[in-house]
A = this chain, B = another copy of it.
Amino acid sequence: MDSEYSISQSALETDKGAYLLDPKIMAHIIYCLDVEDRAQLIEVLEPLHPADIADALEQMNAYDRRRLVTLYDQEFAGDILTELDESIREEIMALLRPEVLAEAVRDLESDDVVDLLEDLETPQQDVILGALDDTDRAAVEQSLSYPEYSAGRLMQRELVVAPEIWTVGEAIDFLRGAERLPEQFYHVTLVDSRMHPVGNVTLGRLMSNKRDIQLRDLVEDVFQIIPAMQDEAEVAYAFNQYHLISAPVVDEDGRVVGVITIDDAMTVLDNEHEEDILRLAGVGESKLSASVMDTTWQRFPWLAVNLVTAILASLVIAQFEATIEGMVALAVLMPIIASMGGNAGTQSLTVAVRSMATKDLTSSNVLRVLRREVIVGLVNGVIFAALTAVIGLLWFGSFQLGYVIALAMVINLVTAGLAGTGIPVLLDKAGIDPALASGAFVTTVTDVIGFFAFLGLAAVLLF
């Protein structure tokens, strides 16, 4: 009667330790590998959720992973593969014996198989497709015909539809007589005679209404149809914005071809966020379990772009070598201006990128937002100008130096507000992902303007 998986022991805790994979379990797994005790390993892993086994695999080193896959052998379930991070999924699939892999894949739902296949090379794809029976293979191949990251790839093909003219009684009889229903479904989707979806009825309403009531009188207020070619990020947005639980997917002719449920949308939303955070920090698709070479390579491009940016800033400084020679205090203070501008720019930029992702920053309010950013930059600029002027005065005893640093600070913080909002908006219009590219541009602008304003004003006003 108990459920099959017991979730990690500490899950009943209320603090941050809940759901953390118990280090004792981890140690026990490694012990089993050390003594090569297969029976005991199975006993330890059996009660764990596949997602937790996948986490354990991600957290151990490659040597232990190999030992685990070899020892666990045919117990290795397809669900674990689904939960594994892509960076080590291929590694694990290569370690599994072909018969074990085929068996593992046969147990999966078709959308999970699609997910596994996406990242594989053609020969490996063929091995897995060969393991499926004809119906499943056809379903998988159909899904793969939609572009990557489209609703068509994301959807589940099994859904429950009913003619819009049915009554509650007819629908219930149909469901009770159906040979095979999807594992999870929440709605009966009503369709017209051309198979166009026209509304959703929840199972709860179906169960609690009289048999002679028309299904069309029970449809939910909120109903959203998803085109199969729509980008999955848009799908996730729609689920989040309109609190959808499931939505039918239609082909180009508006005929229903599948269904997307909220759990799929939640996974996409999670991935999109992850991507945004990592892109803002100039990290490609870094995963903890990625190899040293992959990680180095993922971080390289952003550092290379940053080197170019930094050299541009240095070129600006080089124009003022004579000025700096005349007053070395300038070299001491100039990083303050650049650093404050860079930080203020990153603040504006992050808010702008997020607001575009949530569709809160639009053509209706972009001018107002820009104006606000400039005012914020001005206010913070004046406050920090005063602070740094005092520091400049106390430290180097020069009123003029305080004056110069204050002016440069105001100029650079206003620039930061303008560039931090304007650059991501322009990049987005140009079809470039603002999360990925804005950082480099904004920092270049604040560095160049910061050094130029500070050293230029110094050259003019101090000598």
Contacts and interface: CB of A to CB of B under 8 A. Distances in A.
A364 B23 contact: yes
Which of A181, A266, A283: most chain B Cβ within 10 A?
A266
Interface of A: 1-5, 7, 11-16, 18-21, 23, 26, 49, 51-52, 55, 58-61, 150, 164, 172, 175-176, 178, 181-182, 184-186, 198-199, 202-204, 206-208, 216, 219-225, 227, 229-231, 234, 237-243, 245, 262-263, 265-267, 269-270, 273-274, 276-278, 280-283, 286-289, 292, 295-296, 299-300, 302-304, 306-307, 309-311, 313-314, 317-318, 321, 324-325, 328-329, 331-336, 338-340, 343-344, 346-347, 349-351, 354-355, 359-365, 368-369, 372, 375-376, 379-380, 383-384, 387-388, 391, 443, 447, 451
| The 9 residue pairs across chains A and B that have the minimum distance between CB atoms | A281-B350, A3-B223, A331-B331, A273-B273, A203-B203, A4-B221, A310-B336, A14-B229, A14-B230
Contacts of A206: 207
Contacts of A243: 51, 263
Contacts of A12: 225, 227
Contacts of A300: 380, 383
A72 B231 CA distance: 35
A311 B336 contact: yes
Given A231-B14, A388-B307, A292 B181 contact: no
A121 B243 CA distance: 28
Which of A239, A295, A387: most chain B Cβ within 10 A?
A295
B313 A376 contact: no
A343 to B, nearest CB: 5
Contact of A16 (B7, B58, B234, B391): B234
A324 B326 CA distance: 11
A380 B296 contact: yes
Which of A344, A364, A379: most chain B Cβ within 10 A?
A364
Copies of this chain in the oligomer: 2
A362 B52 CA distance: 13
A374 to B, nearest CB: 10
B340 A314 contact: no
A340 B4 CA distance: 50
Nearest to A180: B208
A interface SS class: helix
A281 B350 CA distance: 7
A292 B372 contact: yes
Given A278-B350, A347-B283, A207 B198 contact: no
B262 A263 contact: yes
Given A278-B351, A303-B340, 20 more contacts: A12-B225, A49-B241, A59-B365, A184-B202, A186-B186, A203-B207, A206-B207, A240-B266, A262-B266, A266-B269, A281-B347, A281-B349, A283-B347, A287-B360, A306-B343, A307-B388, A309-B339, A310-B340, A311-B336, A335-B447
Contacts of A277: 273, 276-277, 280, 350, 354
Given A384-B307, A388-B307, A359 B21 contact: yes
B302 A347 contact: yes
A375 B303 CA distance: 16
A446 to B, nearest CB: 11
A340 B184 contact: no
Contacts of A60: 364-365
A317 B303 contact: no
